[in-house]
Amino acid sequence: VKEFSFEGASGFMAIALGRYGRNLT
């Protein structure tokens, strides 16, 4: 479950960061 959590968090963070950055820019 740790691997899934880590992968999920990584993907979610990347998507959230990209969307947030695009909105800010």
- pLDDT of 14 higher than 80: yes
- pLDDT of 18 higher than 80: yes
Helix ranges, 1-25 (H): 2-24
Show me where the domains of the chain are located: 1-25
d(CA 9, CA 15) in angstroms, rounded, equals 10
Over residues 7-20, mean pLDDT: 83
Question: Where does residue 20 rank: exposed (0-12), middle (13-18), buried (19+ CB within 10 A)?
Answer: exposed
Tokens of 3: 């691997």
CA dihedral 8, 14, 18, 23 (to 10 degrees): 60
